[in-house]
Structure 1
């Protein structure tokens, strides 16, 4: 029974890695503009209506402070959303991602950092549709996607018998554009 939570955590990390590869692949295909990537968000703002807003993430009500780059890509019926901060003071390389199928089904959510977890380990929190533990709900407003729910993290290695813990997440992906969408 103690190995099952580890599998859940491994599955969440695998889903996050797969999602990151999907988003990276879609982002590279869409980089036909001569503008520099850092200039893209400022020049790609929504042409009319309210501003796209700001991408943010929080776990258990505590904001994950970061300078997030937002990537939003659609391929077929899957929408991949990602926030990344490659030099986060607390979490090292911090990635927040979600995949959505259809118009409102959250398939997976992953929050991972190369550091910041318990006992010096990497930080990881995830949700996978159909896996035990956790939940996720999507609210869409234009190109802004707000996902709330609860994810499962790996066990604290100082007390592995305690099993995984859960934490609530609140993520806003403010997409200036949706590649392929």
Structure 2
């Protein structure tokens, strides 16, 4: 069961990384011909609290899979922060990952994930033009000071404000 949760987080993180490697992320110095999105009103809330971040937003679609990513590579609380979602067939959330190099329990990296078909968690998508909102519950990391408590479900709401969706 734990390997399914790790696979879900890994899948979503890999989608975000793939977007970044392709050079489609916005650094607010774009030219009109650049196929990227602006920071706009992209936001992430976890457990009812808005994450304080300056997100770069990346949105790309290829072969029926939509990959959405928010990044803040110098976040005060979470270090290198990545928030991502993978959507299949236009409306099915396959994976969600929120990960930071710091900010987790007991000094560990921060991690929250959802994977379709894996036990625990939920996710649904709503769309308004090119703004995508993913809501649900993800599986949070284990508190190392109390590992017997196991992982916990944590609610999230992520808004990906895409001015452009790159088609591949």
Both proteins in one fold, TM over 0.5: yes
With the length of structure 1 as denominator, give the TM-score of the two structures.
0.83
Q: Helix, strand or coil: the match of 1:93?
A: strand
Q: Which string of whole-angstrom CA distances, capped at 9 and with x for unpartnered residues, describes residues 62-114 of structure 1? A: 00110000000011110000000000000000000000001200000000000
Quick check: which has more Rg, 1 or 2? 1
1:23 has 2:10 as partner? no
Partner of 2:29: 39
Q: What RMSD, in angstroms, separates the aligned Cα atoms of the two structures?
A: 2.5
Cα separation, 1, equivalents of 2:117 and 2:30: 36
Partner of 1:79: 66
Partner of 2:144: 157
CA contact (8 A) 2:121 2:138 kept: yes
Tell me, which stretches of 5 or more residues in structure 2 are unaligned?
Answer: none
CA contact (8 A) 1:9 1:153 kept: no
Q: How far has the Cα of 1:175 moved from its partner?
A: 0.2
Cα separation, 2, equivalents of 1:164 and 1:141: 33
CA contact (8 A) 2:9 2:96 kept: no
Q: How far has the Cα of 1:17 moved from its partner?
A: 2.9
Cα separation, 1, equivalents of 2:147 and 2:86: 29
Cα separation, 1, equivalents of 2:140 and 2:31: 32
Tell me, which stretches of 5 or more residues in structure 1 are unaligned?
Answer: 45-51
In structure 2, do the counterparts of structure 1 residues 127 and 154 end up closer, same or farther at CA, with 3 Å as the change threshold?
same
Work out which of the residue numbers 52, 67, 75 in structure 2 matches 1:88.
75
